[in-house]
A and B are shown apart, each in its own frame.
Chain A
């Protein structure tokens, strides 16, 4: 008999999901003007979790007006220290409620509880703590004395890290003295709505944070609203382009964090077993729904067979299934639309002649699932080496020299992140100086810290989030 891990599910009873939700505007949950609602489902079971309001133009108007009133009336007049106090309070409540929020995130998003519990939630709280500390120290942030906030920020966030992206957006905005209207993704609104409750719990002045749910139309109405001073968006490059176009010529300041097709580069002197872990973490973390995922593996040709042997063996130990099981490594794909895209690009990969491989893996009958997959024999000309798949699909390419590795890594319209694996420090520095990517990880991958700026080159967007650099996006400098 083998060592079969018995189910170890985290209890879902800790969360309390309402049958329907309104919009969080001016400190109140209110119904949408035209009463339209849509459903949010658990992607692991296809069970409907709740009905959520679809905010129309009038709702967006109300939310922006509430944010403006709060900006003029209270938030911009508060002493900086008081803003910091509210942010610290939000951070503490997020920590206190982290178990509940982790479960809710896994239910609505499909990500394994191991990740929402050990990665998302600790980072969410850390982000608020970090920017709480900046609130009364902006004079010393390097932007001159007494830098001013921008006003009302319109923030549109994706479904891959719902609460973490909320933290990345809201924490620096509030620390700098702005008020916000945030639109969570339509497939993952529940933790943002739980955050609305946390704002009330923290006695945050009404209107400082407003949350409007809805799909693309709501987002468009929000970013195009004339009352908005700042637009922050994380999501696809395609939508990012539309936003850039729509705000061009306006006074709105914009930051965009878009797609990626990161190269994870493994040299022949790499620490092999840790490189394998880094590859797995790079592409299979969060089912590959990560903009900075290491989706292109570039391996030095002399070690490719050995590395693939190790990698395939390791993929055989990944546990796919119930996101709430504490032993699950790979959860559900967030939506049927995303699943269709992953399937489509994978079949393109096969049609173009790359060799597809997945470990033996039972997929649950219900829900949206895709097995961890790797493609070998991929070349730069293949679509799976160029387009962002945003799923658990790894393209393996080889190189012969450091120069070739660099050339291939940079040969993409994207430039969000990259990874370098070698025991040679000088080579890490040589590569890091030349890789055109916002983040370069050395002998690790997908590590985040609120003190570290994050953002892209080229079509991966502009502006930085996190760290001191992240303040600039929310200050009039």
Chain B
């Protein structure tokens, strides 16, 4: 199938449905076994160093709480710029991920750093609002200076089989983003099956997503290794069919450096080098960063420093 063939896929509700339901199925036992197999890779010494630094550079350092304040966001930005104050060789994170109203604070705090400002939008996390509200939410964040938008899909419409509606909503949000990068959150914990994860991945990519993202972090389970594997297979296959490279963001529930390294192994062995780049793979996380820093320092000094040696922000 070529890129032009794919253009016809979204011509109507029926064609889109046929296409999504015609994707190869995902065998649950098989995909979970493959993910578990990759998780046994043993990443040591130089490979670990490479993985830890790359993981830091891939983090969307996140705070998405009702209690977020400008002070909290400024603290997070400072942490993102210089995650380990004791070690100037530690790279900065990829982005700071916040609610839309706090974007101006982050833009100011990150000026000149090259760190992206990512805002969640479209009535995050549930997505239960009229389209105009979702688009206004998106435009406001972009106008305030966000250069990345994390939108949620309408899971209700998806599960009801109204795929074209979900598609059109993503297209409209993408248009509202302008130059900002669009990450499309599938909320895989609510889609429940791997078949749905694959379909939603293709749906988002067909609609123009720059990145497909597992979860909001508000629903359990959030990111899992097999779900991320299925999404990585989707972006890999999408590029080989269309030539366009879409990124993946694993968000929620990844707290240990060891887990992050496993994700990078899965990226490496599913998609290869091209995706081992902060432009194409991200971690949505908050507490993960400190564990990465702790492991980083252990690797360079040979011993573990206590948690008090790393900043809580």
Contacts and interface: CB of A to CB of B under 8 A. Distances in A.
Contacts of A4: 46-47, 50
A130 B77 CA distance: 58
B108 to A, nearest CB: 34
A443 B29 contact: yes
A278 B268 CA distance: 20
Nearest to A268: B24
Contacts of B265: 3
A317 interface: yes
Sorting the interface of chain B by its residue count into under 10, 10 to 19, 20 to 34 or 35 or more gives 20 to 34
Contact of B27 (A1, A8, A274): A274
Contacts of A118: 40
A99 to B, nearest CB: 14
A271 B46 contact: no
A273 B31 CA distance: 8
Contacts of B2: none
Give the one of B30, B34, B40, B268 with max A CB within 10 A: B30
B27 A3 contact: no
A443 B27 contact: yes
Sorting the interface of chain A by its residue count into under 10, 10 to 19, 20 to 34 or 35 or more gives 20 to 34
Contact of B276 (A2, A272, A327): A2
A381 B264 CA distance: 44
Given A271-B24, A272-B24, A444-B30, A326 B42 contact: yes
Interface string A269-287: 1111110011000000000
Interface string B221-247: 000000000000100000010000000
A8 B26 contact: no
Give the one of A4, A114, A272, A273 with max B CB within 10 A: A273
A6 B30 contact: no
A274 B50 contact: no
A4 B51 CA distance: 10
Contacts of B273: 2-3
B311 interface: no
A271 B26 contact: yes
B40 A269 contact: no
B25 A269 contact: yes
Contact of A5 (B31, B41, B233): B41
B83 to A, nearest CB: 21
Contacts of A1: 50
Interface string B18-29: 000000111101
Give the one of B25, B34, B43, B264 with max A CB within 10 A: B25
Contacts of B276: 2-3
Contacts of A114: 40
Contacts of A269: 24-25
A272 B264 CA distance: 23
A118 B39 CA distance: 13
A423 interface: yes
A366 to B, nearest CB: 23
Nearest to B194: A271
Contacts, number: 71
Given A274-B31, A317-B269, A327-B41, A6 B25 contact: no
A143 B309 CA distance: 68
Contacts of A2: 268, 273, 276
B43 A5 contact: yes
Interface string B30-73: 11011000001111111110110010000000000000000000
A8 B42 contact: yes
Contacts of A7: 44
B43 A271 contact: no
A273 B233 contact: yes
Contact of B47 (A3, A270, A273, A317): A3
A274 to B, nearest CB: 3
A277 B159 CA distance: 29
Contacts of B269: 317
Contacts of B54: 3
Contacts of A277: 30, 33-34
Nearest to A325: B42
Contact of B264 (A3, A270, A278): A3
A3 B30 contact: no
B24 A327 contact: no
19 contacts: A2-B273, A3-B47, A3-B276, A6-B45, A8-B42, A8-B44, A270-B24, A270-B25, A271-B25, A271-B26, A271-B27, A273-B24, A274-B26, A274-B34, A277-B30, A423-B25, A443-B27, A443-B30, A444-B29
Given A273-B26, A326-B42, 18 more contacts: A1-B50, A3-B268, A4-B50, A5-B43, A6-B48, A7-B44, A8-B44, A271-B24, A271-B25, A271-B26, A271-B30, A273-B30, A273-B34, A274-B26, A327-B42, A423-B25, A443-B27, A444-B29
Interface of B: 24-27, 29-31, 33-34, 40-48, 50-51, 54, 233, 240, 264-265, 268-269, 273, 276
The 6 A-B residue pairs with the shortest CB-CB distance, nearest first, are A274-B30, A8-B42, A272-B24, A326-B42, A271-B27, A274-B27
